[in-house]
Every structure is written in C-alpha cells, then in structure tokens.
Amino acid sequence: MERFTWDCGNRRLCPKRIPLIMGILNVTPDSFSDGGRWNSVDAAVRHAQQLAEEGADIIDVGGESTRPGAARVEEEEELRRTIPVIRELASALSVPLSIDTTRSRVARQAVEAGAVIVNDISGLTFDPDIVEVCRDSQVGVCLMHLIGTPQTMQNNPQYDDVVHDVTDWLKRRVDACEQQGIEPDRICVDPGIGFGKTARHNVELLNAAGTMQQELGRPLLVGHSRKRFLAHLLGRPVDERTAGTTGISVALAEQGVSVLRVHDVGTVRDALVAWSAVQHGLPSEDAVQAESANGA
C-alpha cells in the first residue's frame, strides 16, 4: 500500500503504522459538537496542549462554524477568534498548525502567525485570492469537496454516483491548483463527509476511501468525527458518538487513509495503536522512537 507524504511549509508529514491524527480545535460559540468550550485564547491553548499530549499530529484551528445551516461570521470576527490562538500555539507547541478557513485574509494572517496548513472546505473556490496565499507561502493545502455552501448543502443533495462524482471533482481541483502553481506534494484531499451528503452517501464514500486515495494520488483526509450521519447509524446524540467515530477510524486505517480529523484524539489514537499491533505486530523500539520523533 502506497504511503503519501504531505509537504507543509518546512514540515513533511508522513503516516506510518497508523494514520496522522488532526485534532479539532473550534474557537467558535456555535460549532455542532463543542461550540463555546474553547472560545477564549487561554481555554483554546490549554485544549490544544491536551490534544498534542494525547497524540495529535496536527492541530486544526477553526473560527467559523460550517455545520449545516450555519450563518457566516464577519471576517474581522473570524480573525479575532483565530489569529491570537495560532500565534500563542506557534510558540507553545511543536505540532504543525492548520487554519480551517475559506478566506484569503484569514489564511494569510494565520500563516504569518505560524500556521503551515490551509484547510479549506470549499477546495479554494469561495475566495479566489486564497490560491495566491497558498502558492506564495508554500503551506500545505487541504482541498475538500462540498455542494453549495454550509447554508444550502443539505438541501436534498444528489449524485449520479457519489464516489465517482466526488473523486472527479477533487481530481479537477488538484489539477487546477497545480496549474496555478501549488505543487502536488503540498496538496491533500478530503471527500467532505457530511458536506452535501446523505447518510448513505457518507457511508459509500467511507467504504471507498482507500480506493479514492490511490486514484487521486494524494493523501486523503477524512473528517467523520461525531457527525450527524452517525445518528442514522447508531441512534446516538452528538455527545455519544465517540465509539462510532472510533470504529470508523479503525475501518479507515485498514484502508490506508492518511489523515483522520477527530475531536477525541486520545481515544482514537489508542484504538489505532492497538489495531496496528494486532494487524502488524509490535514495532521495534527503534521504530517507536523514530515515529515519536517524527510526530507520526
């Protein structure tokens, strides 16, 4: 199974025995799962430190909720929420930082503050100037698929073949970004679980995740954590979806998916380490030390 590297500024990220884990840090009052819990700088920094201690390989900072139907926030408010947090984390942690935004100005200031990844739910399409920011700063980029906007995306989403359609869209976005000067080694792709998809669409995409990654030739990032489709599968409210999230994480690891974006970093990492030991045997002491040093 091919392993894909992801160049992010001066960092090269490479999953080894288990996928890279991107810890979610929402500095918002209204995110679907943890809104309002980390929306002060001190609280956000403490939570990010906890995520890093639990084994997060990347911390993803978001200042605007993109749950279905969420209203947009003003750009100045998004900057106020995110930039002080990223600036503090850049000096406090060695873990690579990601900014979850669709706005070029937010992306630029986040990179200046220390972020090395721009994670854009629109695949760099909502704000055309964000392509230039990513190209010139040499950061890693994550291109996600969605239909419409967070305000409209769940209004009866339809596909001819969801796996083919999403893969084709991502392929076209990768090609477009390359043509605009973003090197392919800096691009990661995301099928957009929960973004313009029904529960059935999400499960079909998750089932095909490994195949999509190989076809696209880039690392695949999957953000399935605590999402609404798990209510359809499990009948559980949002605060009881950790087990479902973890089960899907193991299934994705078995397919060789490169990056998992989750809330419950420690739980997911422990499950993946245990799964890897059963699947592949215990790593040598040298391998453990090397992976620890690489943060992978």
Q: What is the pLDDT of residue 25?
A: 95
pTM reported for the whole predicted model:
0.92
pLDDT by residue for the chain (296 residues), tens digit each? 678 999 999 999 999 899 999 999 999 875 444 445 656 889 899 999 999 999 999 999 999 988 887 888 999 999 999 999 999 999 999 999 999 999 999 999 999 999 999 999 999 999 999 999 999 999 999 999 999 998 899 999 999 999 999 999 999 999 999 999 999 999 999 999 999 999 999 999 999 999 999 999 999 999 999 999 999 999 999 999 999 999 999 999 999 999 999 999 999 999 999 999 999 898 766 555 445 544 44
The answer to whether the CB of 8 falls within 8 A of the CB of 139 is yes
Query: Which tokens hold the place of 27?
Result: 């500095």
Rounded to an integer, what distance in angstroms lies between the CA atom of residue 117 and that of residue 261?
13
Rounded to an integer, what distance in angstroms lies between the CA atom of residue 266 and that of residue 269?
5
The string of pLDDT tens digits covering residues 143-177 is 999 999 988 999 999 999 999 999 999 999 999 99
The answer to whether the CB of 89 falls within 8 A of the CB of 52 is no
Q: What is the pLDDT of residue 56?
A: 98
Q: What is the pLDDT of residue 69?
A: 79
User: Active site includes 227?
Assistant: yes
Domain residue spans in the chain? Answer: 19-222+250-294
Q: What is the pLDDT of residue 284?
A: 66
Q: Which residue among 103, 108, 227, 241 is the active-site one?
A: 227
Q: What is the pLDDT of residue 290?
A: 46
Half-sphere exposure of 59 (CA within 13 A, CB side): 32
Q: Which residue among 103, 108, 261, 269 is the active-site one?
A: 261
The answer to whether the CB of 100 falls within 8 A of the CB of 60 is yes
- In CATH terms, 19-222+250-294 corresponds, of 3.20.20.20, 3.50.50.60, 3.30.413.10, 3.40.50.300, to 3.20.20.20
DSSP secondary structure letter of residue 108 = H
The string of pLDDT tens digits covering residues 235-272 is 999 999 999 999 999 999 999 999 999 999 999 999 99
Burial 9-41 (b: 16+ CB within 10 A, else e): bebebbbebbbbbbbbbbbbeebbebbeebbeb
